Amino acid sequence: MEILQVHLSLAAKPRGVHLVTREILSQLPQVSMFETGLLHLFLQHTSAGLAINENADPDVRHDTETFIDDLIPENYPKFTHVLEGSDDMPAHLKSMLFGCELTIPLFEGRPALGTWQGIYLIEARNHGGRRRIVATMQGKARNNVV
C-alpha cells in the first residue's frame, strides 16, 4: 500500500456552485500511479464545501445555489455571528451542510467517478479567495510505479 499527499489550491471564485474536477485533477498527476485505491480531498476552510453531482448541465449548479441560498439566506435576523459580513454565518452553515471532504475510489489510474459525476466547490462567501485542499491518495501502485 502506497500513500501520497499533495497540497493544492483552487483559484478564487465568486459565490456559487462551481465544477472543479479538471482544476483539481490537473494538480494531481500522481492519481495515474494507482491501480486501485482512494483519493481523499480535504478542503481547509469553514466557509465553502465539496460535493459530487452532475457535471453536464449547468442548470444543476444554478438550481443548487438557488436552493441553498433560499434555505440559508443572508441577513437572517437571528444570526449573531455577523462581524465578518452578512455572508459569513450562512457560509459556515453551508459548509457544514455539504461538508469539507470527499473520498473517491481510484481505478486504473483515474478517479472512478460516474459518467455524469463531477466535483463541485460550493463557494459560500461573496469573496472567498483561493481555496486550499489536501489530497491524500492511497492504494495499490500500478506496476509498482509509486
Q: What is the pLDDT of residue 144?
A: 61
Per the CB < 8 A criterion, the answer to whether 63 and 47 are in contact is no
Q: What is the pLDDT of residue 143?
A: 80
User: Which H or E element spans position 140?
Assistant: strand 131-141
- CB neighbours of 105 closer than 8 A, spacing ≥ 6? 36, 37, 38, 39, 111, 112
| Per-10-residue mean pLDDT, the chain, length 146 | 97 98 98 97 98 96 97 95 94 97 98 98 96 98 74
Between the alpha carbon of residue 98 and those of residues 8, 21, 76, 78, the distances in Å are 20, 17, 20, 22
Domains recognised in the chain with CATH numbers: 2-144 (2.60.120.460)
